[in-house]
Amino acid sequence: MLRISDIVRRKEFSDNVSMKQTMTLNPQEQKRSKVLSQHLSGDLSIEQVAALLHCTPRHVYRLKARYLEQGEPGMIHGNRGKASPRRIAQETRQQISELAQGRYAGCNQHHVRDLLEERDGIVISRASVRRILEEEGVLKVPPKKQPKHRLRRPRYKQEGQLIQIDASPHNWLQERGPRLTLVGGIDDATGKVVGAVFRAQEDQEGYMRMLRQVVERDGCPQAIYHDRHTMFPKGQYQVDEKGSVGEQLEGTRTRTQLGRLFEQLHITSIAARSPQAKGRIERLWGTLQDRLVSELRLAGACTIEQANAVLQEYLPRFNARFAVPAAEQQKGWQAVPARLSLDECFCVHEERTVALDNTISYHSQRVQLLPTRQRQGFARAKVEVHEHFDGQLSLFFQGQSLPCRLAPADPVQLRQATPTASSEPAPVTSQPAESTATSSEPAASPVAEVPPKPRSKGHKPKAGHPWGYRPQSTSSQ
C-alpha cells in the first residue's frame, strides 16, 4: 500500500527525471533501481525487496528514501569519485617518483622500499611503490605475451623411426628398498616400450644398457628424442665462449659418450626444448608409477636386481595392453653397421697419450702396452681406452687392438697403498696382436679389472717451485 507522501515524492522524482542527465550505474546499482521502481509501482513489498537485494528491511527504507529524493543517482555510492582518506599524499608520491628516477635509479622495487624506509623515513609497502611508479610512468609494465597456439604432433608412421628416451627417479620399491631411477625408451609410432632398466641414478651407463636392449632385439632407430641433459650431444657443434679453452682452439665441441655412440650407430639426435615436447614418454612415467609399483609390490621385489627381473617380465604384458598399430606395416629399424662390435661400442671411450716407457695412466693406475709384430713401441702415440661396464679395459691404436697388462706399481703408489694391500698386479690374459689382422672386426684384448682409485693425498711443491712462489712484501727503507 502506498502512502500519500510516497505519491508526492514520486511526482517530484518524475519531474526530476524529465531533465536530461548522464549517469553510470554498475549492475548492483541498476538492480536496486529496478527493484525499488517495482516497489513504488506496488508490485513488491518491503520484505520482498529486502530478500531480492539481500539486505534488511531497515536498509530498504534508507534506499527508498534516497531513491525518492535523488532518483537513480541516489543509488550511486557516495564515495564514488572521491579520494580515499588513506591515500598517500601527493607530495609523498612525487618525492618517491623523483627518488626512484634519481638517487635510487636502477634499484628494484623491494630495494627502493627498503631505501625509502632507511634513508628517507618513508614507510610504504612494496605494492604501493610499484603502483606509484606505474601511475607516474616510471615503471613500464611489459605487455603479457599471447599464449602460443600448440598443435599435437602426429605420430611417426613406421615403428623404429623415432624413439623417445628419458629417466624417471621414483620410490619404485616404496619402503622395501632404495630409491631407483627407471631409464627407458618408447617408440613414437606404436607407443611400445622398447627398452627399460633400473639404475641407482640417471647416468650414461643406464642409457647405454637400455639402448643395447633395443639394438640387439630390433635394430638401430633412425632418430632419438631426448632432453637437454649434458650427457646427450648438443644440437650444434659450434663452440661459443662457454666452451673450454681446448674446444675453442679446435673449433668444435668435445663429443659426449652418448654422442659418439649415436654417430657410430648412425642415429640422429633430436633435443627437446620442453618436457611437453616429448609428452609420450612423460605420460608413460605416470602410468608406470602406478602399475609398475604395484607389480613390484606383488612380486616382493626389494633390490635393484629383483626389480629389473620383474620389469623384463612385465614389459611384454604392458605392450600388449597399451601399444597401438603403426600407420605403416613396414618397419623403420636400421641394421647395425657392418664390422662394428657392440661390445666395443657400448662402453666408455677415452683417449690417452703413451709415455716413453710404453705405459698409459688411467684412473691413477698404470697400464703396460706390449709390443706387436707391426710395432715394437708406442711412445707418444695416442691410443683409445675402452672401459667396459664389467671393469675390463681394452686398448686400440688406429682401429687395431693392442695387447696390454697392468704395469707394476711405482714408488708413489706403493707409499700410498695400505699395509694390507698387495703390491703385485692382478693376473691378466692378453691376446696376440697378429690375431686381429685376420678378423673381420677388431677384437678386444681383455685386461684385468682396474682396482678402485686410491684417495689422493695432494701434492705440495718444493720450496723453489714457481707455483709455490709468492712475492713477499718488503718494507720501505
3-state secondary structure the chain: CCCHHHHHHHHHHHHHHCCCCCCCCCHHHHHHHHHHHHHHCCCCCHHHHHHHHCCCHHHHHHHHHHHHHHCHHHHCCCCCCCCCCCCCCHHHHHHHHHHHHCCCCCCCHHHHHHHHHHHCCCCCCHHHHHHHHHHCCCCCCCCCCCCCCCCCCCCCCCCCCCEEEEEEEECCCHHHCCCEEEEEEEECCCCCEEEEEEECCCCHHHHHHHHHHHHHHCCECCEEEECCCCCCCCCCCECCCCCCHHHHHHCECCCCHHHHHHHHCCCEEEECCCHHHHHHHHHHHHHHHHHHHHHHHHHCCCCHHHHHHHHHHHHHHHHHHHCCCCCCCCCCCECCCCCCCHHHHCCEEEEEECCCCCEEEECCEEEEECCCCCCCCCCCCEEEEEECCCCCEEEEECCEEECEEECCCCHHHHHHCCCCCCCCCCCCCCCCCCHHHHCCCCCCCCCCCCCCCCCCCCCCCCCCCHHHCCCCCCCCC
> Under a CB-based contact definition with an 8 Å cutoff, are residues 367 and 407 in contact?
yes
Query: What pTM was computed for the model?
Result: 0.60
pLDDT at 236: 53
Q: Is the pLDDT of residue 342 over 80?
A: yes
What percent of the chain stands above pLDDT 70?
A: 78
How many C-beta neighbours within 10 Å does residue 122 have? Answer: 16
Domain range summary for the chain, segments of one domain joined by +: 4-75, 90-135, 163-239+250-322, 347-413+443-450
Is the pLDDT higher at 72 or at 183? 183
What is the average pLDDT across 67-83? 84
Q: Is the pLDDT of residue 440 over 50?
A: no
Is the pLDDT higher at 180 or at 461? 180
Is residue 438 very low, low, confident or very high in pLDDT (cuts 50, 70, 90)? very low
pLDDT at 183: 97
pLDDT at 18: 44
- Architecture of the domain whose range is 163-239+250-322: 2-Layer Sandwich (3.30)
